[in-house]
Chains A and B, each alone.
Chain A
Amino acid sequence: MLQNIDMSLVDWSRGQFALTAMYHWLFVPLTLGLSFIVAIMESIYVRTGDPEWKKITKFWMTIFGINFAIGVATGIILEFEFGTNWSKYSWFVGDIFGAPLAIEGIMAFFMESTFIAIMFFGWNKVSRKFHLASTWLTAIGANLSALWILVANAWMQNPVGMHFNPDTARNEMSSFWEVLFSMSAVNKFLHTISAAYILAAIVVVGISAWYLLRNRHIVFAKRSIVVASVFGLIGILNTIGTGDNSAREIAKEQPMKFAAMEALYDGKTHAGLVAAGALKGENKESEIRQRDFIFKLEIPSALSYIVHLSPEGFVPGINDLIYGNTRRGILSFEEKADRGLVAINALRDLKKAKDNDPEKYAELRAQFENPEWVNTYFKYFGYGYFKAHEPAKIIPNVAISFYSFHTMVGLGFFFVLLMFFSLIWSINNKITQRRWFLYVLVWSIPLAYFAHEAGWVLAEMGRQPWIIQDILPTMAAVTNLTSATVQVTFWLFTIVFTALLIAELKIIFKQINLGPKDGGQ
């Protein structure tokens, strides 16, 4: 099925999307979180009238503005790349996927871009309350835009609320509410935005800690730390809670991703959760390129408990999902590919019959409306593309999935401690005495970004080889371009994004160095 596809084109197209998404995500979480932190700070200023709070607000607002612009720049590319590089995808699921993107524009982007102008330029033009409302509306707009794109992404992980229309050869939406309120969408949204809050909190706390180390802007720094620590602590606790829910959802809807995250090859009850571990290289003799552990630290039965809330629960491994497990009712890859091929062939035959064989067309058309047939065959449509391919093709990269997952989770728990002590020690005024902790706070800034990127690597690489889980392989979604064309744009974007990133970092470092008095006023 995939013989005619230029794999180099697929790889470069994926590379380009990954590049854009990863750059984009360097800026977005700070925008999401800092917008609320600034709104909280300005609220305190409006309530107390204390000019120090105005100074604090304006400084963080400046940082917000610098970061916002570059987030917008990379964001527009992402939206249009669905069309430019993934046009088959855009048609196949545009009926469902396009709606959240449009709503994002109408509902969120306008709110964000309208009120951000007042936030920056309205200090002397509108009343204090109007200004404060604008700051809050900017934050709400930014977070609403995250809602819609995350709903769209969650739908790619767990496609619900749709049916296939063979006449148009695409999937069509059947329930907007199912798309919006699927558990995957709810968890993804809450998990991602609360993770953004912790990142923004760490940036604020880290920069403030740097001032304390330099003995500069003491009041500014201490107040910033208190606000950001409370915000960050709430954020990280929510991140962990929703992360737990997400894991359960992944185990249900994307069992292969879940198995890869834990490098679990043989399914079992009382499955342990790997707290830390290192993997060996691929075993070339194994059909599925198995990777064993060099060492691992396991929490007994924890994985079963996470998935089933019971240690007795069975967690399937990669082998179960490839070779099937009749006892547990799991179909083999071979069986799914056969069934998927039946669905693909039915669609081909229907297309052929449409103009010259009305009877056959009617018969095949009825099949696509028959829930039993859809559930038996069409459900595995995407697997049909992999018929005659080795099973390893449907396994995501286990090492990347495993390490990105454990990096993200490990750092998440570290951030709990970080925010907790930063709050406690700043409230009891001991934070300046613990210089080692101030250094830890400063150096945690890159770690927060690292955790975020790891999270997205897991979400997207762990879903492979699917662009839409079980429905459409990434390989079958790419636009018919030459690999050279995409290489040119890949390098073009790499150069521009990198230059802009350097510029943004230099400007931000300069603003930090200038400090709130010069930079923020």
Chain B
Amino acid sequence: MTAAISYLFLQHYWWIIISLLGSLLVFLLFVQGGQTFILSLGKNDVEKTMIVNAFGRKWEFTFTTLVTFGGAFFASFPLFYATSFGGAYWVWVAILFSFIIQAVSYEFRSKPGNFLGAKTYEVFLFINGLLGPLLLGIAVATFFTGSVFSLDEMNHVIWQSPWKGLEAVTNPMNVILGLAILFLARVLGLLYLLNSIDHQDLLEKVRKKLVLNTVIFLVFFLTFVVWLLFATGYAYDDTGKVFMEKNKYLHNLFQMPLNTLFFLLGVISVLWGLFISLFRNSDKGIWWTGAGTVLTVFALFILVGFNRTSFYPSSYDLSSSLTIENASSSKYTLKTMFFVSFMVPFVVWYIWVAWKAINKKKITEEEMKEESHIY
């Protein structure tokens, strides 16, 4: 049976896995989005502690998904790993740096003798909340807008800007997607608080914040989508030669209708979640907006990787652009990893069981006083 699996199928299959991990990661950035409110939303220590603990019980999922996203990219598309991480050095280092300071902040914040003081760890969480989604958004935007690199005959990357990736901020579309992801994360963070905390005063403030953040998110997101519909994209032909195609992403939307359906369902679901949270006082918005986020981001990844589209294009040297066909691992490795990926549903299942077990009771002021393990 396995002999019948083609190399091309495996390359597409692995791009689907990458897209799934990427979309789950964006959803899980609600932790980062929520962290940006720690300093501004909690008016006293109890409220602040409730917010910190709501996200503190979930930070490992985001972190692990980021690590797995990186690992899966390494295993399935190592040329991307080598090119982007080695080339756009400063962007990735900045992202990683923001995650180092996050990992310890929850655990250290409320512990006696924590050296830097609780406030410092709260600032660390804020920095991670701000930089993580913003820079990840900017990095992913270059999948559409292109980067300035070339590859030599041994496939070694030569980055053409001394800014080593930071030059991406000079392209407004990169920044707009970065900001869209940041405000999406903030919106998701607020929705998560609505779902997991039982504290009237705090929830009222959350709903107020939700209005403004939703508007900002929608402005940035829709700007990006409109740009995308008219953008000239990086396509490749039968021989693998990369060329510029007008309205490439619009063509992809027409030529991959199922994916377009995912995209539209995703957007509708995001909007529905926001609607019921803002106008119907529902606490289930996180699930609708979260699922919508996964669908939308998944569809965007497919849009930039399938239908002969270069997923990591070089605007400096088109022929160096990466596609799922020229950047992938060997057939043997992809096939091995294909079997490994069968574990994913099992992983999702136990995460779900554990998530439900922890979230079945909402976080209350009393729990913060009684619980033995508090962040």
Chain A residues within 8 Å of B, Cβ to Cβ: 58, 62, 65-66, 68-70, 72-77, 79-80, 82-88, 90-91, 94-99, 101-107, 109-118, 120-126, 130, 134, 165, 168-170, 172-174, 176, 351, 479-481, 485, 489, 492, 496, 499-500, 502-504, 506-507, 509-511, 514, 521
Contacts and interface: CB of A to CB of B under 8 A. Distances in A.
In the A-B complex, the 5 residue pairs with the smallest Cβ-Cβ separation, listed nearest first, are A87-B86, A94-B78, A83-B85, A105-B68, A510-B113
Interface string B98-125: 0111111011100111111000000000
Interface string B146-168: 00000001111111000010000
A479 B87 CA distance: 8
Interface in B74-100: 74-76, 78-79, 81-87, 89-90, 92-93, 96-97, 99-100
Contacts of A75: 67
Nearest to B339: A176
5 contacts: A83-B81, A98-B333, A99-B329, A506-B115, A510-B111
Nearest to B111: A507
Contacts of A66: 107-108, 111
Given A98-B81, A106-B341, A485-B89, A73 B104 contact: yes
Contacts of A502: 115
Interface of B: 57-58, 60-61, 63-64, 66-72, 74-76, 78-79, 81-87, 89-90, 92-93, 96-97, 99-104, 106-108, 111-116, 153-159, 164, 329-330, 332-333, 336-337, 340-341, 343-344, 347, 350-351, 354, 357-358, 360-361, 371-373
Contacts of B104: 69-70, 73, 500, 503-504
A121 B373 contact: yes
Given A69-B104, A88-B82, A173-B330, A479 B68 contact: no
Contacts of A134: 354
A58 B351 CA distance: 23
B117 to A, nearest CB: 10
A168 B112 CA distance: 55
A117 B64 contact: no
Contacts of B81: 82-83, 87, 90, 94, 98
Contacts of A83: 70, 74, 81-82, 84-86, 92
B360 A125 contact: yes
**A interface: dominant SS:** helix
B60 A106 contact: no
Nearest to A174: B332
Nearest to A492: B97
A173 B332 contact: yes
B372 A123 contact: yes
A47 B119 CA distance: 42
A152 to B, nearest CB: 10
Contact of B99 (A76, A120, A176): A76
Contacts of B102: 73
A83 B78 CA distance: 9
Contacts of B78: 90-91, 94-95, 98, 170
Nearest to B88: A84
A125 B85 CA distance: 41
A110 B347 contact: yes
B354 to A, nearest CB: 5
A95 B333 contact: yes
A503 B373 CA distance: 18
A168 B247 CA distance: 32
